[in-house]
Amino acid sequence: MNYRVDLMYVVDLEVERTKEVMSQYNQETVQVVSPSQAHIVYADKSVSAVVVCSPTYAHEEIVKDALKNEKAVFCEKPIAESEEGTASCYDEAKRAGKPLFCSFNRRYDPALQSIYREVKAGKIGQVQTIKTCARDCPLPPIAYLKTSGGIFHDCAVHDIDLVCWILEEYPCSVFAMAHAHVPEIAAMGDVDSVAIMMKFPSGAIATIDLSRNAKYGYDQRIEAFGDKGMIASENQQPDNVQFSGNDGKLSTPIQHSFPTRYRESYINALQHFLNVLQGKEELAITKTSTLKCNKVATACEESYKTGVSIQLNLNNGDL
């Protein structure tokens, strides 16, 4: 089998454990180095791109170091913890002449891409409402949540980007309510349950339903309703086998967590990045769209904290 990529290095704090993982996947030739040795990667001229999937607080430094050393960058969202940091990363990418890809991976999920295409083609007519549901399973580790940037920028931003991408516009007002049911999450000043409403210039109204802790599986649903009909993507299961008996009907549980539910989307996002590197496609997620999405997430968080609707003006002109 011919692969498009040669994995050359992995940078990780747990060097010995990572070496074991590389061995399990027959990748013994991959060099594993600690973050203090990352300069070895940056200095290697044969490395053409860096994939950033570190904790959020480390993104900005890694992205900038890679770009300064003329490496293209694929970065899991967010690019940085602040809008200023995100903008400066894109400015560095422009100076370096290298692509910086912020991977909002749900855009690359086959089911969600189908909804995008059908809405764009006018299949359901003028979109009047769009609803998303995203509930984590299992509850993410508390240690991770402490460095995640908060539920609005770690979790809600995915749904915000998805809705804005499908509607091809940004909201003119947002309102959010939230609560922390998990004591450990409350103690860190974050929340675990969120409801967001967004009004768009077209008249469309979006609702986003978020939770950090769904016991029954990774709950991921979306519905778009228009004057010609409705299109939806329901939860996915490993198979569609059902058992019927005296106690009713039983079916296979939905996907347990994000690695299985969005497996194809991660692959497709990386394929897009490789196509960009090879000049086959233009970068689909730009500096402007990334920053505007972050602004919406920030407005939602502000709405929750203040209890008022936040007005936005993101559809006219640039940032």
Tens digits of residue pLDDT in 68-107: 999 999 999 999 989 999 999 999 999 999 999 999 999 9
As for how many domains the chain has, the answer is 2
**CATH at residue 205:** 3.30.360.10
Task: For the chain, give the percent of residues with pLDDT over 70.
Answer: 98
Pairing type for strands 100-103 and 31-33 reads unpaired
Rounded Cα gap, residues 9 and 49, in angstroms: 11
Q: What is the largest CA-CA distance in the chain?
A: 67
pLDDT band at 315 (very low <50, low <70, confident <90, very high): confident
Please tell me the predicted confidence (pLDDT) of residue 4: 85
Residue 230 sits in which domain range?
106-311
The domain boundary residue, chosen from 104, 131, 159:
104
**In whole angstroms, what separates CA 42 from the centre of its chain?**
26
Residue 113: in which H helix or E strand, if any?
Answer: helix 110-120
Assess if residue 2 is contained within a domain: no
**Looking up tokens 């399990």, which residue turns up?**
24
The domain boundary residue, chosen from 86, 104, 122:
104
Distances in whole angstroms, Cα of residue 228 to Cα of each of 117, 205, 207, 224, 242: 15, 16, 20, 11, 32
Token pair listed for 148: 């995640």
Q: Judge whether residue 318 has pLDDT over 70.
A: no
Same domain for 52 and 112? Answer: no
Q: Name the residue among 31, 29, 74, 68 with its Cα closest to residue 49.
A: 74
pLDDT band at 1 (very low <50, low <70, confident <90, very high): very low
Q: What is the mean pLDDT of the chain?
A: 95
Assess if residue 1 is contained within a domain: no
Task: For the chain, give the percent of residues with pLDDT over 90.
Answer: 90
**Looking up tokens 């809705």, which residue turns up?**
163
Backbone φ and ψ for 274, nearest 5 degrees, come out as -65, -35
Q: How many residues does the chain have?
A: 319
Pairing type for strands 9-11 and 31-33 reads parallel
Neighbours of 240 (CB within 10 A): 8
Assess if residue 275 is contained within a domain: yes
Assess if residue 294 is contained within a domain: yes
Q: Judge whether residue 314 has pLDDT over 70.
A: yes
Q: Judge whether residue 317 has pLDDT over 80.
A: no
Q: Judge whether residue 63 has pLDDT over 90.
A: yes
Q: Name the residue among 163, 88, 107, 101 with its Cα closest to residue 133.
A: 163
Please tell me the predicted confidence (pLDDT) of residue 135: 98
Same domain for 55 and 100? Answer: yes
pTM of the model: 0.93
Same domain for 234 and 145? Answer: yes
Q: Check if the beta carbon of residue 127 is closer than 8 Å to that of residue 202.
A: yes
Segment 140-166 shows an average pLDDT of: 95
Conformational region of residue 106, where left means phi above 0, alpha means psi within -120 to 50, and beta covers everything else: alpha
pLDDT tens, position by position, 239-289: 888 889 998 988 889 999 999 999 999 999 999 999 999 999 999 999 999
Assess if residue 239 is contained within a domain: yes
Token pair listed for 68: 């300064």
Q: Check if the beta carbon of residue 209 is closer than 8 Å to that of residue 131.
A: yes
Assess if residue 38 is contained within a domain: yes
Same domain for 112 and 256? Answer: yes
**Looking up tokens 């909201």, which residue turns up?**
171
Same domain for 197 and 152? Answer: yes
Q: Check if the beta carbon of residue 37 is closer than 8 Å to that of residue 62.
A: no
Q: Judge whether residue 2 has pLDDT over 70.
A: no
Q: Check if the beta carbon of residue 100 is closer than 8 Å to that of residue 63.
A: yes
